[in-house]
A = this chain, B = another copy of it.
């Protein structure tokens, strides 16, 4: 797809049909993602691909539990607005996505957050270019249980930066409104 059409077509998708995403296709998207620029070409990103529905459910439950714990009774938590869905046992933070991809890197790499975010931008664009929908689901990233970490292959020294739901969209939602560009200053 032409880049201009692609950035217009890419949406955060929250309704997926049941069609599974072949792992081979996810690997192609990951191969695109690692072409992203990154600090000192250190490529600190690692990828975890989950297509097992029971595991996706466990990851959602674990993350919801931890976010609720962190939030406590703090009404000014940035997550406070999500309390009702976090407390709803039926709610899956990944919606009905048949695939979840984590992008993670070593905690002690100073640029790990921005490097992995750059790869995530490529990941989401590449997904849209291939007719898939995706959504960065921050609510699904707070995984702390050591057994679960081991089961998904997350090294002890790694932090999950991006948590992305992936699947075939039921429909392409409208683009949420954008503010005009906030130009702080032009120094000519």
Contact = CB atoms under 8 A, between A and B. Distances in A.
Interface of A: 1-4, 6-8, 10, 12, 23, 27, 30-37, 39, 41, 43, 45-52, 55, 78, 104, 110-111, 113-114, 116-118, 120-122, 124-126, 129, 135-136, 138, 151-155, 158, 161-162, 175-179, 181-188
Given A12-B37, A37-B121, 16 more contacts: A1-B3, A3-B125, A3-B126, A4-B129, A37-B124, A37-B136, A39-B138, A43-B178, A47-B182, A48-B184, A48-B185, A48-B186, A49-B183, A78-B110, A153-B184, A155-B184
A138 B78 CA distance: 29
Query: From DSSP, what is the main secondary structure of chain A's interface residues?
Result: mixed
Nearest to A121: B121
Contact of A114 (B10, B52, B114, B125): B114
Given A117-B114, A188-B23, A35 B51 contact: no
Contact of A183 (B7, B47, B186): B47
Contacts of A155: 184
A152 to B, nearest CB: 6
Interface centre among A12, A23, A126, A186 (most CB of B within 10 A): A186
Given A121-B36, A151-B187, A187-B48, A161 B114 contact: yes
